[in-house]
Chain A
Amino acid sequence: MAWTQKILRVNLSEGKVDSEPLNMEWAQSYLGQRGLASKYLVEEIDPKCDPLGPDNKLIFTTGPLTGTMASTGGRYSVVTKGPLTGAIACSNSGGYLGPELKMAGWDMIIFEGKSPKPVYLFVNNDSAELLPADAIWGKTVWEADKILHDVHQDSQIRIACVGRSAEAGCLYSAIINDLHRAAGRSGVGTVMASKNLKALVCRGTKGVGNIKDPMGFMQATENGKKILRENAVTGAGLPQYGTQVLMNVINETGALPTNNMQKVQFAGASKISGEAMHEPRKSDGKPNLTTNAACFGCTIACGRISTIDKNHFTVQNKPEYWGSSGGLEYEAAWALGADTGVDDLDTLTYANFVCNEDGMDPISFGATVAAAMELFETGAISTKETGGIEFKFGSSEALAKAVELVAAGEGFGKDLGLGSKRLCEKYGRPELSMTVKGQEFPAYDPRGIQGMGLAYATSNRGACHLRGYTVASEILGIPEKTDPLVPDGKAGLVKAFQDATAAFDSAGICIFTSFAWSLDDVAPQINTACEGDWSTERLLEIGERVWNMEREFNLKAGFTKKDDNLPPRLTTEKADSGPAAGKVNELDKMLPEYYAVRGWDEQGVPTTDTRQRLGLS
C-alpha cells in the first residue's frame, strides 16, 4: 500500500528512539509527506511555541510515492514551526535521502525535545541510534559528510546535515542532503541545530514494496513518464537549462526583481541565465554547467551540476571548490544575482556552493544581502556595521564575503543571518524588507505577475513560489494562459494552484511534474499504489484540507489578516520598465475575493461550513 506504516519517534531530550504505527486513518485524509506530517505537527505542538525551543518538533517525512518508480518519487519534506516566520514550515527536498529513509522502512521521523549534547541519528533499516556528534559539530555539511562516510564506511549511506550557519543561529538555515539538495526554506535547518541534532544518516536496504496493484502501477507511472517526456517544459526545457530556463523569460516579462525589488528587469540577466551556463567561459574555455543531474526517480533531471573556474577570485587556492557540485537553480541565480545586481556567473555559483556547504537558503540569503545593499546605499548602515565591506549593488566581492560570513556565523554575517525582516527592522528601515510573514520573496515580481502577489501574501509559510505557482498559468500558459498584468480571476487561480500543490507535495513527488501533469495524471499513480479509491477530486479535497489546516495553525500561532500582505514597495512603487511598466500589485482587489473563494470570513478565518466540509475539527 506504498506506506511503510511505521513512524520513528526520537525523543532527543531523553535520547530515546521508538517505533510506532502510522495513523492510517490520517493517511487516508492527508495522504502523506506535507499533508500527513503537518497533521502530526498541528496535533502535537502548541502553535504558539518557540520555534527554536524544545517544544517545537521536527518531522522528516516521505510520501506514499517516495521510493517508487513514479517519476520524481524521491522527495521528502521537513515539517516544523519555522523560526524565520513563526508559521508552519514545510521544506521539500529531492536527492536520495527520502527514498533511503523509506527503504529503511520508515514513513516519517518525528524529532522532539532537545538533546543535551550534539548528536546525530543513524538509521540502518530497523535500527536507529543517536550517536555523539562531537566530531562533526562545528563542521560544514561537506566536511561532516566526509567524516560520516569515513566513520560508517559505507559509500551508500545518505546524509542530511546542517551546516555551521544553523549552529550559529542563522534564521534561514537549510537542511542539506546528498551534499547539494536542500530542504531549503523557512529555517528548518535552524530548528534542527537548535535541537543539537547535527545530521540524519540513513541506510535502507529493505526497499519499498507493498504496491496495491503492481502491474497497474507500472503502467500508470509509465503513462506519467510519457507525458513528462513529451512535454516541452519537462521533456526539453528543464533537462537542458534547468529551472534557469526562466531567467531570460521572466526578465523579458518585466517580472525579474532587481536590486532588492527596486526594479523589475536586470540588465545582466542574460549573463546569469541557463543559456549562459552552457557557454564556454572566456577564462578557461569551459562552461559553468558540467552536466544535468536527476534526483532519485526523476525522469526530468533539471538539476544543475556546475564547476567554477579554478582561477576565479572566489576559489583561488581553495581546491575544495574546484570539483563540480550543485549549481544554480533559477531562484538561487535570481536571489544571488539579479536581486543583488551581481551578474558574474562564477561568483553566483561560488555563493551557491557555500550555501550548500554550510546550509543556507540561497533565496533568503541573497534577498537579505540585497536588503543590506539597499540599507548600505541609503546610508542606514555603513562599513562600520558591515566590517568594512562595501555593500553595493553589483559587488561580487561583497556577495562572496557575505556568504562566507553567514556560513561561519561571524561578524556582519550575524546580522545577515537574521534575515531581511529583522535586519531592516534593526536598522530602522522595515519597509525595505521584501518579505511576507518574515520570509523573503523568490524570483517573480508581483507587479509583473499579479497572481504571484496574492500567492505570496497568502502563502502559509511566508513568501514562496512553491505554494501556488501561478507563473505557470500567467507566463507559461499552463494549464491555460491568463494575463499576468490583471488581477481579475487570480483569486480562484491561486486557490486552485495552492490546493493542487498541497496534493502533489503530499504524494511524495516533485511539484515540477505539474508543468506537465494535472492531478488527473497523479491520481492513477496513487490509486494503483495505495489502499483506497483515489480520484482527482479526492486529491484536490486533500489539498484544500491541508491548506486550511496549515492556515488554522498559523491563525492559532497569532497570524491575522494583516499578515496576508505585501511590502508597500510592491503595492505603491510602480514598475519602471518592461511590459509591466506603471503597474503595482493589486492585492487589495484580489484578497477579499480570495477569502471568499476559500470559504473564509472577511478576517481570513475558515468558516464553520468550510471546516465541516473539509472534515477539520
Chain B
Amino acid sequence: MLRALSLEPDRCTGCLQCEMACSYENEGVFNPAKSRIKVFAFHTEGRFAPYTCTQCDEAWCLKACPVDAIVINSETGAKDVLEDVCVGCKVCTIACPFGTINYNSSSGKVIKCDLCGGDPWCAKACPTGAITYVDADSTGLERMRAWAQNSPSGSASFVTPTEKDVQHYERVQL
C-alpha cells in the first residue's frame, strides 16, 4: 500500500529537526539549506508550516524533464531524481508550481523529496507529529495530498536509523 507524508502545520513548532534529518540522510550534513523539506515561519501569525513535495499525480517535474531523469519509484510512488541522468537544466524547477524541486549548485543536479525510499527521515525526526508517514488508501491519497487536510495520526515513532535501502527504479506508465 502506498504511503504519503502528512503535514500538519498546527502541530509544527519550528524546531527544524526534519530539515536536519533530511539533509543528513540525503547530503551527509546537517544543513537546512540542503533539506528537501522546509519549514516556513509566519512570525506575526505565530505559525509554522512544514512543506515538501506531495508526490503529486500531475508530476510536473517529471513531465518537464527533457532527459527522463525523474521517474516514479514503483515501491513508494515517489517521483525520484536519477542523479546520473539529470543534466542540471533546471526546467523542472520552474515547472513545479509548488516550488519543491530545487537546483543544488554543488552537485549541479536537482534535488527533491524521494520519501527516503519509503522511510522518510523527516517524519522519524519530527517530535510533535506534524510530519507523519501514513498509509493512504486509494481514496484517501488525494485528500492526504490536499494541504488543508488535517487528520491526526498519532505521534511519529523513531526507528533505529538504517542505511538507505537499495532502490529499484522502473519507469511506471503514466
Contact = CB atoms under 8 A, between A and B. Distances in A.
Contacts of B125: 69
Contacts of B45: 323-324
Contact of A296 (B15, B21, B158): B15
B54 to A, nearest CB: 22
A589 interface: no
Given A225-B127, A324-B45, A103 B31 contact: yes
Nearest to B128: A301
A291 B43 CA distance: 11
A85 B29 CA distance: 41
Interface residues of A, number: 40
Given A103-B33, A294-B15, A69 B24 contact: yes
B161 A207 contact: no
B144 to A, nearest CB: 24
B15 A207 contact: no
Contact of A219 (B15, B23, B160): B160
A209 B30 contact: yes
Interface string B14-29: 1111001101100111
B46 A307 contact: yes
Most-contacted residue by chain A among B29, B46, B160 (CB, 10 A): B46
Nearest to A292: B13
B154 to A, nearest CB: 14
A290 B13 CA distance: 12
Contacts of A119: none
Interface in B54-78: none
Contact of B16 (A204, A207, A218, A297): A297
A206 interface: yes
Contacts of A215: 161
B20 A69 contact: yes
Most-contacted residue by chain A among B21, B30, B48 (CB, 10 A): B30
B46 A205 contact: no
A222 B43 contact: no
B44 interface: yes
Interface string A270-296: 000000000000000000001111111
Contact of B31 (A207, A218, A299, A303): A207
A291 B47 contact: yes
A68 interface: yes
Given A103-B31, A299-B127, A207 B43 contact: no
Contacts of B31: 103, 205-209
Given A69-B17, A294-B15, A179 B43 contact: yes
Interface string B25-53: 00111111110000000011111100000
A294 B160 CA distance: 24
Contacts of B28: 209, 214
A241 B20 CA distance: 26
A297 B127 CA distance: 10
Contacts of B43: 179, 323-325
Contacts of B24: 69, 214, 218
Given A69-B24, A205-B31, A208-B29, A299 B17 contact: yes
Contacts of B23: 207
Contact of A297 (B20, B27, B29, B34): B20
Contacts of A290: 46
A325 B21 CA distance: 27
A295 B48 CA distance: 12
A290 B14 CA distance: 14
Nearest to A208: B30
Contacts of A103: 30-33
A225 B161 CA distance: 14
B16 A296 contact: yes
Given A218-B161, A225-B127, A291-B46, A207 B13 contact: no
A218 B23 CA distance: 13
Given A71-B127, A205-B31, A208-B30, 14 more contacts: A205-B34, A207-B30, A208-B29, A222-B158, A291-B13, A293-B14, A293-B48, A294-B14, A297-B15, A297-B17, A298-B15, A299-B17, A323-B43, A324-B45
Q: Which 10 A-B pairs have the closest CB atoms?
A: A207-B31, A323-B44, A324-B46, A294-B15, A205-B33, A290-B46, A207-B29, A299-B127, A209-B29, A301-B13
